[in-house]
Amino acid sequence: MKALNATAATILGFLQDGELTGWELARRIEDMVGHFWNTTRSQIYRELKTLSEQGYVEAGTPGTRDRTPYSITAAGREVFVEWISEPPGPELIRFPFLLTLFFGRFVEKEKLGRFVRAEKLRHQARLDLFEKAERVSPPPSIDNSIGLALGYGLAYERAVVTWFDEIEKLID
């Protein structure tokens, strides 16, 4: 078995619940894990081709708009379980605003203030979305791993919004 990269493993993870087209995979990844793991459509289609060549997924009959459904094979399930059972690597924060803030001394104070307010609004909107999801989700538990990930998202966004409150005070 060939080792998986995280994008390929993500695809196999989503295919555990049934067949999906590349387009459907892109939407699910974006909607469900896109706040902490991102992929591009081109990466998804490239990985589906590779996963198919490796025998980890099977392509079905193309449907409307030539969208091809993919299903996971027994070998795909096996390699996914092997991959997900390994310790995860360290996280890497990619937060473009932090780069702007780091070099903020080169940005007009008023413009930097607009950036801060815009970013805060974006994080507040994400927090609102997570809080809405929390109201309809079962409580987090070791059996509800999606709820555990949602709990992280809630804690993170609450902390970031509070952090932006402090930055706004410094700028104003």
Domain boundary pick from 84, 104, 139: 84
Structural domain boundaries enclosing 62: 6-84
Evaluate whether 54 touches 2 at the Cβ level (below 8 Å). yes
pLDDT at 171 over 90: no
- Count the domains in the chain: 2
- Give the per-residue pLDDT at 166: 95
Say what the pLDDT of residue 1 is.
63
Mean residue pLDDT across the chain: 93
The pLDDT value recorded for residue 65 is 84
User: What local confidence, expressed as pLDDT, does residue 144 receive?
Assistant: 83
**94 compared with 97, residue with greater pLDDT:** 97
| pLDDT reading at 74 higher than 90 | yes
Closest by CA to 126, choosing from 168, 157, 165, is 157
* Residue bearing the bigger pLDDT, 81 or 63: 81
Confidence of residue 36 (pLDDT cuts 50, 70, 90): confident
Residue 129 maps to a domain:
yes
The pLDDT of residue 137 is 86
For residues 150 and 110, membership in a common domain is answered with yes
Domain boundary residue, one of 36, 57, 84: 84
Domain boundary among 31, 52, 84: 84
Average pLDDT value for residue range 55-61: 95
